[in-house]
Amino acid sequence: MFYQQLQQHFLKISHLQHAQAICSWDQASMMPDGGNDARSAAMAELSVLIHQQTTASHLGDWLSAAAQEPLSADEQASLAAMKRRWKQATQLPQDLVQAQSLANSACEHAWREQRNNNDWNGFKPNLKKVVELVREEARIRAADAGLRPYDAMLELYEPGVTSAQLDALFADVKTWLPEFIQRADDIQSQKKVIVPEGPFAIEQQKELGIAAMKLLGFDFTHGRLDVSTHPFCGGVPTDVRITTRYDESDFMKALLGVIHETGHARYEQNLPKAWAGLPVGEARSMGVHESQSLFFEMQLARSPEFTQLLAPLARRIFQREQDPAFTNDNLYCFNTRMKRGYIRVDADELTYPAHVILRYEIERALVEGDIEVDDIPALWNEKMQAYLGLSTERGSDQNNYRNGCMQDIHWPCGAFGYFPSYTLGAMYAAQEFAAAQRSIPQLSEKIAQGDLAPLFNWLQTHIWNQGSLLSTNDLIAAATGEPLNARYFKAHLQRRYLNEA
């Protein structure tokens, strides 16, 4: 009886979260600038209502009582997910939740124009307020859970993962990644790749993106594609909103962004319907979520087999049937070029971990109070030079802030602790793809023929339909036969970029 009451209560909360998600998507993609103050106030009010419902005084008693009821294994997992959500919510006072919602909305909205204008001085005051509140949140959560402040924030995105574990994992990556990057540079310098020349009309790019989404099984009766400053996947499982941004000189940026977000969307659209609206029916962690987007973008879309499907679409839509840049082989080489660059979302999969490690190290120090917002640009430049040999100092070829520490949406909206999910996700994705190859006979041939159903069925069974019934470690072990093992990621990069079996 108490478990059923909890179910009904959390379903009500999910309805409020539904409204919040669509309001957030609209704010980032459709809302006129003049609507921001009123929208921010409305979203802050929604945040307070959700917080009030999630911290209702009777929930603790209901959770304790439900634990004594005869529940199935899945219901016990559902109860555990509710308790975790309740515990996280009760850690924070209502006034902090409201203050964060207002500060994050103001910072994110202003960031869109400030980033375009390279206005670090205008951005700093807003970011300082966000960081001040994040530190307060981290302090409260850390005291309650007996964790370091940054680890308390990590727990929101990657339950069970600590900065000590990440330090060890990333330290290992840094021992071999610089060598891999240099060797890939040497190999590629001896290959001729034809760069597709624009302009590529935005309407044609959109048509290609939608064609790719259809190929990847996106359900357009439960989602749509739009434009925003920073690509993202939002909305709710029954109404998934993904966005991209277009560059008329390079159609691949938008296309791969669409494919990346489609990976997120397919996960959301295929979460277990039986648990819809409940915490246990949500994605397991952001690392698992990123594993799906990177599975689609890196493991699948950049493969030679999938390129055989994308290239004819691109040739037809852009009317480049005779353009040598649009041959299957050339587009594959173009899509797997390793190039040191400033922008994380445009990075190849070999240099991508360097972008993540840089952000992880800075945001950890920021949350822990070891550095201040004013220190970010210099640290960013120092680490970019150390990890990728690039300078973001003013006066260099690239503009310091816009293409440096102001490029991501995560810090403006208060998402500190998220960045490690990207590299964890890349590692999970490589391990998942290796397991799928072992499980599905002649998978490469099937992909090249456009028969993607076996691969999607594997993901549906082992990842999507599991929701949060299992811990991340148990989910990955059940899907692949072992817990996270970074050797699959390293081996994948060796095969694709260093031509090593």
Spell out the domains of the chain, with CATH numbers in brackets. Answer: 2-157 (no CATH), 202-337+424-494 (1.10.1370.30)
pLDDT of residue 399: 65
What is the spatial distance between Cα 482 and Cα 317, in angstroms, rounded to a whole number? 43
Residue with tokens 């009821």: 69
What is the spatial distance between Cα 205 and Cα 15, in angstroms, rounded to a whole number? 34
For the four alpha carbons of 313, 316, 317 and 322, in that order, the dihedral sign comes to positive
Contact 108, 413 (CB under 8 A): yes
Whole-structure pTM value? 0.92
The token pair at 417 is 């602790």
Q: Which residues pair with 235 in a beta bridge?
A: 240
What is the spatial distance between Cα 278 and Cα 467, in angstroms, rounded to a whole number? 10
Cβ atoms within 10 Å, residue 211: 18
The token pair at 39 is 């929208």
Q: In 136-238, at which residue ranges do the beta strands (DSSP E only) sit?
A: 223-227, 233-236
Angle of helix 286-294 versus helix 420-439 axis, rounded to 10: 60
Q: In 71-212, at which residue ranges do the beta strands (DSSP E only) sit?
A: none
The alpha-helical segments, DSSP class H, found in 299-372 are 304-318, 328-335, 352-368
Low-confidence stretches of the chain (pLDDT < 70) are 394-399, 501
Contact 366, 376 (CB under 8 A): yes
Pairing of strands 233-236, 223-227: unpaired
pLDDT of residue 398: 58
Residue with tokens 């599991």: 466
**Three-state SS for 182?**
helix
Contact 318, 330 (CB under 8 A): no
What is the spatial distance between Cα 265 and Cα 222, in angstroms, rounded to a whole number? 10
What is the spatial distance between Cα 362 and Cα 372, in angstroms, rounded to a whole number? 10
**Three-state SS for 241?**
strand
Contacts 24+ apart (CB under 8 A), 150-153: 150/363, 150/364, 150/367, 150/368, 150/416, 150/417, 153/367, 153/416, 153/417
Determine the Cα angle at 223 with ends 356 and 414, to 5°. Answer: 35
Catalytic position from the list 108, 137, 158, 261:
261
* Number of alpha carbons in the 13 Å side-chain half-sphere of residue 332: 15
- 261 in catalytic set: yes
pLDDT of residue 202: 98
What is the spatial distance between Cα 22 and Cα 371, in angstroms, rounded to a whole number? 35
